[in-house]
Structure 1
């Protein structure tokens, strides 16, 4: 099967490309390189010993997207491209709505024109907002607290309508929780632009001496140690979830949604201690006031993905910390270095 990966040069995209290639699929990557590096795709080729077809294209460009489908015999698409920083989306909502929704609409139009109607969407647990109960199941109330999350929720609704209007579409949306870690080779990993927005890349940069300390936002939540609890999923397990979804698209009549998570929560302090075990050294940190909008606890019920996609997370937070530290140590300045 030939799979088109939009945003395929990014963190999740490169790990997904590795799993697809190692499973025998062909991979075509579309990426604008706004938040990624072409070097990452060269690393994918080193890991797998296979070639990736790459097009430096913005998914919002209709003509360029039509040309990609004309140049390749595509069987399915995994749509990962998009702007993804929650805080930035609050500051620049119009940019996020324009880019993320335009990209999806343009992609679907290009797919439809080429007769390709098998799609896996990168969605997010942000569609659940502040959950009423945990673990979160797919039928939980959908609400969002920021424009980034809203673009994911609106994308799912667009695909609901598309699948209803044309039953020939086969669509799976993957609502994943908190990807962490890196490939065990140390060749690819998370390379955030500027100050990391997520916990583990920030911890890694503190451990590497790039940042002075980790700020822990609040230790007075109603959790075992007072710090926020999240479902941290190894990025390789997440990539395998995309591989599983592609393999089940033929069975996915209409539009289906699945959580990808471990089903277990890990607190900020537990994550910090896991990274200290990986490095063998203490990591400077300080507890400061809570951030507005942060929630106490959020973790998945991944049972539907296990039942329907035959997928289950296998790697631990400790595994992810060891792999992330291997990547950070070997690439202190990311792909640019």
Structure 2
């Protein structure tokens, strides 16, 4: 089953093919096709969404397919996940729900955020894999506990377009930012892996206590090493900007949230100075600013940066639509646009 649970589970050829297709869709503009006529996808959102939901709905329609969005517990039964007797509030088990939807639709999309309480469950994406295991059709991850492949493809296509395919060796900084909530690690994990797989030189800037998962870091280092680049870490919120060509800001919670939430909140609050400012951006090498959105102005990043010429976060958001088209084509085995947009690292055979 050609699931897309995350890109690191798929080979380089698939990654490059989908990346090329996303850029091709961007260059083609707002085109509508009939490539997926007769296809359908159910989008199950256990968590809120703006960009992922609307871009996937529109991508399906623009390819000629039908999309249905489902919010479990709101207009549907609540779903149970565990084993044993169902004597709680949930009326339907996820096995039956996914089994039924698989008989109606040609693909399923699911958004399942991190629990924030069970690190092993989150690290292994246990709920996402449970969902996929019971599906009889391809499943696409619309953001899980640990990964966001839709965002990752859009980010990679944005970078490839911004630098006209010449991304290898460029300096990419993934910087932690303060946020009043302990956010999941899915987006920073995926941004890190995408940049490293593109062959960029990556620096992860974060305070002590906010390290990303070592398994994700090891995968990123392997991607970078294959290109002759590296993945580094620093706890210096200023030095990381020196000479950077991309600043990707994202807040995420520390590991303490799983064992001592109060201590994690206190530690996070002590680093309010980790914010993207115009002064820090001035230290870059004409660097661009990226963020997956939604973003808190004045908390994660200053207005002067978001409203300035270095910000490409809206282009990044636009690429969500083009990435979703490429993903649906992959899931359904449809022909990707064969457009020679870049050099050998990106062009199809």
TM over 0.5: no
Which structure carries more relative contact order (alpha carbon 8 Å, separation 6+)?
A: 2
Larger radius of gyration: 2
More strand by share: 1
Q: TM-score, normalised by structure 1?
A: 0.33
